[in-house]
Amino acid sequence: MKVEKVGALSFPSLEKQLSFSGLDTWTSFVQSVYDYKIHRYAVLENSNPVAAISLTEVKHPIFGHYLITAPFGSYGGFAYENSEARDLLLDEIRQLAKQTKVEYVSIHHGEGASTPPDNWIQNSAYSTYLIDLPSTPEELLKTFASDHRNHVRKSTKKGFQIRFGHLDLLDDIYEALAQSMHELGSPYHTKTYLSQMAESLGDTLEFAVLYDPQGKIAGGGVFIYQGDTIFNLHANILRHVRAAYAGEFLYWSAIERAIQKGMKTFDLGRSLIGSGNETFKMKWQPRKKLLAYWHWLAPGQELPALNQKNPKFQLAIAVWKRLPAFIVRPLGPYIVRGLA
């Protein structure tokens, strides 16, 4: 076996592990928006790929200099068929880390139950949540606890409307996500980020925009289809409709549509273990799957914690919520580019 630097990860046998956020369409789109440098490697055995990785190199004055897989995604960008190929690839990545003088390497993939090799640390902070989709929505509804089942049913009687589409919904989906992220105290990307994502992923991406009974934007989602799985990249609800079960309506609408399309799995996306987001997702009776967030640290560096539980971010989140939109909209993309 040998490690080679490659220009693309065109390896169908490894695509499921690489996930959409590790494939060239995704990393190339992210590179086009933020001008990151991308490093791609593969392990070949008799000319056949047995391991592969796509790493994004991020340099930011606030969040540092690091290498990461699956930029702005939950997991993906790292795949292997056996531990020998995996370790050979990771040894190469450690050498790359030293050459580029990064502070750390962060590898996000789906096998959280696996043990990282020597010199790598597992950060068991995130899980994803997988709903096995039956042939009809009614079959799934029966599996929910009675309270959640009632909330879903109530949500359909509140007068909400939902539209699914593509670039025709660009203005509204951007408004929904930018507003909701502002309310949560988090920066968000530009509208160009969403438009280039849609153009790059084509019909594998679908926007969803939720409207309240008065026709006002109430939330939105970005869903990506790969194989027989639908991935939730974003699903956000605005504050003024949260008490009316708007979140239940958005998720249930996406589930119904996925079943209509013949999808077998709904990946609800990552959440911090113990967070309110996790509590909401567990109501849908998913399989909870621990994610593998493996880190290599340069000497003297600490495990990164770029999330809302970090006490260092609490004041920044509180201040961000109170800033006017004309400040957070242009400033947000500059900040979020360091949070890949």
Confidence of residue 315 (pLDDT cuts 50, 70, 90): confident
- The predicted-structure confidence for 151-195, as pLDDT tens digits, reads as follows 999 999 999 999 999 999 999 999 999 999 999 999 999 999 999
Q: To which residue do tokens 């096995």 refer? A: 132
**Residue 266, Cβ neighbours under 10 Å: how many?**
24
Q: How far is CA 248 from CA 28, 150, 245, in A?
A: 34, 10, 5
The class of domain 2-127+290-301 in CATH terms is alpha beta
Sign of CA dihedral 258, 260, 261, 262: positive
- The predicted-structure confidence for 289-310, as pLDDT tens digits, reads as follows 999 999 999 999 998 877 777 7
How far does the chain reach from its first CA to its final CA, in angstroms?
31
Confidence of residue 311 (pLDDT cuts 50, 70, 90): confident
Sign of CA dihedral 284, 290, 296, 301: positive
Neighbouring residues of 122: CB distance < 8 A, sequence distance ≥ 6: 112, 115, 116, 292, 293, 294, 295
DSSP state, 159? -
- The predicted-structure confidence for 189-215, as pLDDT tens digits, reads as follows 999 999 999 999 999 999 999 999 999
Portions of the chain given CATH number 3.40.630.30: 2-127+290-301, 134-263
Rounded CA-CA distance 3/234 in Å is: 35
If you average pLDDT over residues 47-56, what whole number do you get? 96
Give the pTM. 0.95
- Whether residue 67 is predicted with pLDDT greater than 90 in this model: the reply is yes
Which pLDDT belongs to residue 92?
Answer: 97
If you average pLDDT over residues 49-61, what whole number do you get? 97
Pick the CATH number of 134-263 from 3.40.630.30, 2.40.10.220, 3.40.640.10, 3.50.50.60: 3.40.630.30
Which pLDDT belongs to residue 314?
Answer: 85
Nearest residue to 30 (alpha-carbon basis) of 216, 226, 175, 233: 233
Rounded CA-CA distance 230/13 in Å is: 19
Element (H, E) at 127: strand 126-132
Rounded CA-CA distance 291/287 in Å is: 12
At 160, the amino acid letter reads F
If you average pLDDT over residues 27-56, what whole number do you get? 96
- The predicted-structure confidence for 231-279, as pLDDT tens digits, reads as follows 999 999 999 999 999 999 999 999 999 999 999 999 999 999 999 999 9
Nearest residue to 56 (alpha-carbon basis) of 90, 127, 105, 5: 105
- The predicted-structure confidence for 91-144, as pLDDT tens digits, reads as follows 999 999 999 999 999 999 988 778 899 999 999 899 999 999 999 999 999 999
- What angle, 0 to 180 degrees and rounded to 10, lies between the N-to-C axes of helices 170-184 and 325-336? 90
Q: What is the DSSP string of 282-335?
A: HTT-PEEEE-EEEEEE-TT------STTSHHHHHHHHHHHHS-HHHHHHHHHHH
- Whether residue 316 is predicted with pLDDT greater than 90 in this model: the reply is no
Q: To which residue do tokens 């920066």 refer? A: 187
Which pLDDT belongs to residue 111?
Answer: 82
Rounded CA-CA distance 124/111 in Å is: 11
Neighbouring residues of 206: CB distance < 8 A, sequence distance ≥ 6: 164, 165, 166, 222, 223, 224, 225
Contact in structure between 268 and 174 (CB atoms under 8 Å) = no
Contact in structure between 309 and 176 (CB atoms under 8 Å) = no
Confidence of residue 334 (pLDDT cuts 50, 70, 90): very high
Contact in structure between 159 and 212 (CB atoms under 8 Å) = yes
